[in-house]
Amino acid sequence: MNFSAGLLAASDGFTLTYIWDRATSEAKVIIILLMVFSIFAWSVMASKSVQIRRARRLNHYFEAEFRAQQSVLSIYDRRLQVAGCPLFAVYLEGCTDLEAHLRTSEGGRKQYSTLKALEHVKRTMEGAVAREALRLESGLVLLAVAVSGAPFLGLLGTVWGVMDAFGAVAMAAQAGSRPDIGIMAPGVSAALSTTVAGLLVAIPSMFGYNWLVHSLRVNTVELDNFAQTLASRMETEFLKDE
């Protein structure tokens, strides 16, 4: 098939189908692998976006409720459960630890605690902040792999395909045929399709990854600020003035 016949076939049919039919088996494997990467990347971006938006909404409601309470342990004493709220998870761990230090042998609750006990509570909340941040960040490694790995997979397919295309031209020349662009063009276009596929995976993943990292950084700062506010209120309420 010469070059003009190839153009006619491409114009009569769907261009991508024409390129796919002339792609090597290696290029097809790479494109399928990139499609799998794309499915995983979009799944992660969708699920993490829903998770972060839900956590942000629950944080807003819980913080408003917390600031309206007169006592630090008011919400804790009601034994509420707020699944998926990072602020509540930090609050629950801090109050559970504080309750353990305030509990008396008779089952009551002391009015004041020691500075050492409150420092321990503060470290407990810092650990809770770290765990909540890691929980929200779980799965982002798949996006990082898609951003960094997809272009290189596409480039590998392109280099491989171009190598095969030039090899076919060299073999045709050795057989006595005059090199024709119609021989090389389909192979080169099919080889370049892997780079296009790699970029189509990497570019949305890059934007999604950057947005998610920024949102998680903001969420982590909010968790740190809440933990400090909670620790300050605990010290004000349960640390006896000297």
For 70-85, write each residue's pLDDT tens digit: 889 999 988 888 888 9
* Residue 81: φ, ψ to 5°: -130, 120
pLDDT for residue 168: 66
Which pair of structure tokens corresponds to residue 204?
């949305």
Amino acid at 220: T
pLDDT digits (tens, 9 = 90+) for 96-127: 999 988 888 777 788 888 888 899 999 999 99
**Which H or E run includes 66?**
helix 25-67
Alpha-carbon gap, residue 146 to 159, rounded angstroms: 20
Which residues is 103 bridged to in the sheet?
A: 109
Distance, CA of 163 to CA of 159 (rounded, Å): 6
Q: Are 66 and 91 in contact (CB under 8 A)?
A: yes
Question: What pTM was computed for the model?
Answer: 0.78
Residue labelled with tokens 């080169």? 188
191: its two tokens? 């080889």
- pLDDT in the model for residue 56: 93
Report the pLDDT value the prediction gives residue 57, as an integer from 0 to 100. 94
Q: State how far the Cα of 228 lies from the Cα of 118, in Å rounded to an integer.
A: 12
CA distance 134 to 226: 17
Rg of the chain's alpha carbons, rounded to an integer? 30
Cα–Cα distance list, 81 to 58, 89, 102, 196, 226 (Å): 12, 9, 22, 48, 18
For 97-150, give the secondary structure using H, E and C: HHHHHHECCCCCECCCECHHHHHHHHHHHHHHHHHHHHHHHCCHHHHHHHHHHH
Low pLDDT (below 50) residues in the chain: 1-14
Contact 99, 73 (CB under 8 A): yes
User: So what's the pLDDT on residue 169?
Assistant: 67
